[in-house]
Structures are given as C-alpha cells and as structure tokens.
C-alpha cells in the first residue's frame, strides 16, 4: 500500500485500515499501525492469504481475519476466523456472542468436495480441467454478504491444515533463483521487491503463490497460455481491480475514478503455484517457459 496515498485518503468517514497480506507477502503493520493511531483508526490485518498471520508475532493490528476457503493456506472449504487483540476482548465479546451459530459439521459431501478440489490443484489434471468453463476455476465473482454467522471449527481438520502448511516444502528460493534472469527483461519478482517491516525479510513467510509482474499485458497472457498448456496452473488471480469487478464496483464511492496503478498491476500480474504437489522439476519447466516467452520479441 502507498502510505502517502493512504494518508491523503483518510477522511472523517474513515473507520479502519485493512492491511492485506497479498499472496503471503506481509503488509507493513508497523507503519500502518502508526498511521492508524495517529488518526484514531482501527487496523485490521486481512491474512486470508497468509498463515500464520503477522499478528501471531506482533500485536500491532487490532483485529486479524483468516479465511479457510478454497485456495487459501488452510483449505476447509469455507469459514474463517476473527482474531481479537486482548485489549479489545471485553468490548468485542458481547457483539460476537450476538451472532447466531450455523451448523457446519463436515459431512460426506464436504469431504467429497474437498477431495475434488485437492485433485484439481494437482497440476497434471488442472491443465485439462481449466478448459472446462462451467467449473469457473480461478474466477472471482462478487457475492453480497447476507449476514454474519458463527461456526464451530473442527479443530482436528484445522490443526492438520496448519501442520501441512508448516511442513510444506518451501519453493520461494527455488523460484527466485530460476526467475532472477527475467528481471533484466522488464519483469518484476514481487516477493523480492515488496517493502517489508524490519525483520520480515523475503522468505520469512511461506507464500500462497509466487507472483511476478510481466513487462506487458501481452507477455502475461502468452505466459499463462503457455504454462496452462503444459498443465501448470498459472493465473492472473482476480484479473481486474475492484473498480472493474462486476457487482462490486457499484459499492465503491469512487469507482469511476482513475486507478492507473491498480489497472496496470491487474494487467501485468502473473501468479504461480506453491502448493505441496509442485515439484522442483515443475519449477524447471516454469523457468523454461518463462525464459522462452520473455525472449520472444
Ligand atoms: C479470500 C479472501 C478474502 C475472503 O475470504 P472468504 O473466506 O472467502 O470470505 C478476503 N481477503 C482476501 C485477501 C482474500 O484472499
């Protein structure tokens, strides 16, 4: 997040700053925390894409949210968690206790759905399924939040998910080594270039996906096509900024403004898989395809 733009955007209507750990790259909670307290705002760490959240190490954010949906670090096919900092516990408790429980014990259908999803994650068949449009894989659609309910989390499934996350082979360094030559051809490796809080060097967190910016929209599209053709689930994540997402833009006060940075970012973003089925031999394939596309003029 651009701290100067953020500072300039704060108005009397602002209630909170949401810091998103994009694809597992931590936001600078220390800097944002200073801004939040200067303006009397609440700081929320959106750690849907990073586990564990930065708040597990530093109590800077007032609240942190986790997601256990498909494609998130811990996949329980839905649900999430709201983490409340100790000093807000009393005040939050009565509000949270007011939300009704929703029965969500995993049944046989749940296990089947998750098995199908995990199979889809496997690159050897993802390439094929990606061509079947009704599955809507990797597509982002806006859904209005109808109401807030609480769920009883299955602790066994949750701790298994966390354990898998901790034990997963780290691929970040492997990606960095192989893709470094692209930086001479106008590509940007995002995990290596994002500003972190002190002590949060690149490689501390396990990334959800490895992300790059291509030099142009055309190169990004060519790369995704070439990688998908050999069964590697590369994608452009959300594809469009929030201001152009069908259904969501009408909820933004300034959707008609220019968002040049967000537009350029969405046009050039390429994300690569980091899940446990990705092998080092896959990284070699990815390297070959990327260097090949990069060198085509
Ligand atoms: C997925 C996601 C959410 C929403 O999580 P749900 O559990 O699907 O509601 C919020 N923020 C970020 C950054 C996400 O990736």
Distance 155 CA to ligand 1 centre (A): 20
Q: Note the pLDDT of residue 199.
A: 64
Nearest residue to 197 (alpha-carbon basis) of 32, 20, 7, 24: 32
Q: What is the mean pLDDT of residues 164-192?
A: 93
Mutate which of 25, 46, 211 to test ligand 1's pocket (most atoms within 8 Å of Cβ)? 46
Q: Whose CA is nearest to atom 11 of ligand 1?
A: 48
Lowest mean pLDDT among 99-103, 220-224, 281-285: 99-103
Greater confidence, 254 or 262?
262
Q: Whose CA is nearest to atom 12 of ligand 1?
A: 48
pLDDT at 228 over 80: yes
Greater confidence, 119 or 132?
119
Q: Whose CA is nearest to atom 9 of ligand 1?
A: 67
Q: Which tens digit of pLDDT belongs to each residue from 258-290?
A: 888 899 999 999 999 998 888 899 999 999 999
Q: Note the pLDDT of residue 169.
A: 84
Nearest residue to 269 (alpha-carbon basis) of 228, 207, 229, 210: 210
50 lines ligand 1 (CB under 6 A): no
pLDDT band at 122; cut points 50, 70, 90: low
Q: Note the pLDDT of residue 152.
A: 87
In this structure, is the dihedral angle defined by the CA atoms of residues 213, 216, 218 and 219, taken in order, positive or negative?
Answer: negative
Q: Whose CA is nearest to atom 2 of ligand 1?
A: 48
67 lines ligand 1 (CB under 6 A): yes
User: Over the chain, what is the mean pLDDT?
Assistant: 87
Cα distance between residue 53 and residue 47, in whole Å: 6
Residue 40, judged by CB atoms within 10 A of its CB (0-12, 13-18, 19+), counts as exposed
Lowest mean pLDDT among 5-9, 89-93, 203-207: 203-207
Q: What is the mean pLDDT of residues 239-268?
A: 87
Could you tell me the domains of the chain? 1-167 (no CATH), 169-297 (3.90.1150.10)
Q: Note the pLDDT of residue 38.
A: 97
**Position in ligand 1 atom list of the atom nearest CA 49:** 15
Distance 291 CA to ligand 1 centre (A): 32
Q: Note the pLDDT of residue 126.
A: 56
pLDDT band at 25; cut points 50, 70, 90: very high
pTM recorded for the entire structure: 0.89
Lowest mean pLDDT among 41-55, 169-183, 189-203: 189-203
Helices (H), 201-295: 217-229, 260-268, 280-295
Q: Note the pLDDT of residue 133.
A: 52
């Amino acid at each position: 997040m651009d701290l100067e733009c953020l500072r300039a955007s704060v108005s009397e209507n602002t209630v909170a700053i949401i810091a998103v750990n994009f694809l597992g790259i931590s936001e600078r909670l220390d800097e944002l925390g200073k801004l939040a307290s200067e303006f009397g705002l609440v700081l929320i760490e959106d750690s849907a894409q990073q586990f564990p959240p930065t708040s597990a190490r530093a109590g800077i954010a007032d609240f942190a949210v986790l997601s256990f949906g498909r494609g998130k670090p811990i996949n329980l096919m839905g649900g999430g968690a709201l983490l409340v900092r100790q000093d807000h516990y009393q005040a939050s408790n009565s509000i949270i206790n007011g939300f009704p429980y929703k029965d969500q014990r995993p049944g046989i259908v749940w296990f089947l759905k998750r098995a199908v999803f995990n199979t889809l994650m496997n690159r050897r068949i993802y390439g094929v399924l990606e061509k079947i449009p009704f599955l809507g894989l990797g597509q982002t659609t806006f859904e209005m939040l109808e109401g807030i309910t609480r769920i009883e989390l299955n602790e066994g499934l949750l701790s298994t998910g966390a354990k898998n996350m901790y034990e997963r082979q780290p691929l970040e360094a492997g990606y960095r080594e192989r893709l470094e030559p692209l930086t001479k051809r106008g590509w940007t490796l995002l995990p290596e270039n994002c500003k972190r809080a002190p002590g949060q060097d690149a490689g501390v967190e396990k990334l959800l996906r490895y992300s790059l910016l291509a030099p142009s929209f055309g190169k990004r599209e060519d790369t995704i096509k070439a990688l998908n053709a050999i069964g590697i689930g590369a994608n452009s994540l959300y594809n469009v900024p929030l201001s152009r997402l069908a259904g969501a833009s009408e909820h933004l006060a300034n959707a008609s403004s220019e968002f040049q940075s967000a537009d350029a970012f969405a046009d050039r973003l390429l994300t690569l898989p980091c899940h446990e089925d990705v092998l080092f031999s896959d990284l070699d394939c990815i390297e070959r395809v990327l260097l090949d596309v990069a060198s085509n003029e």
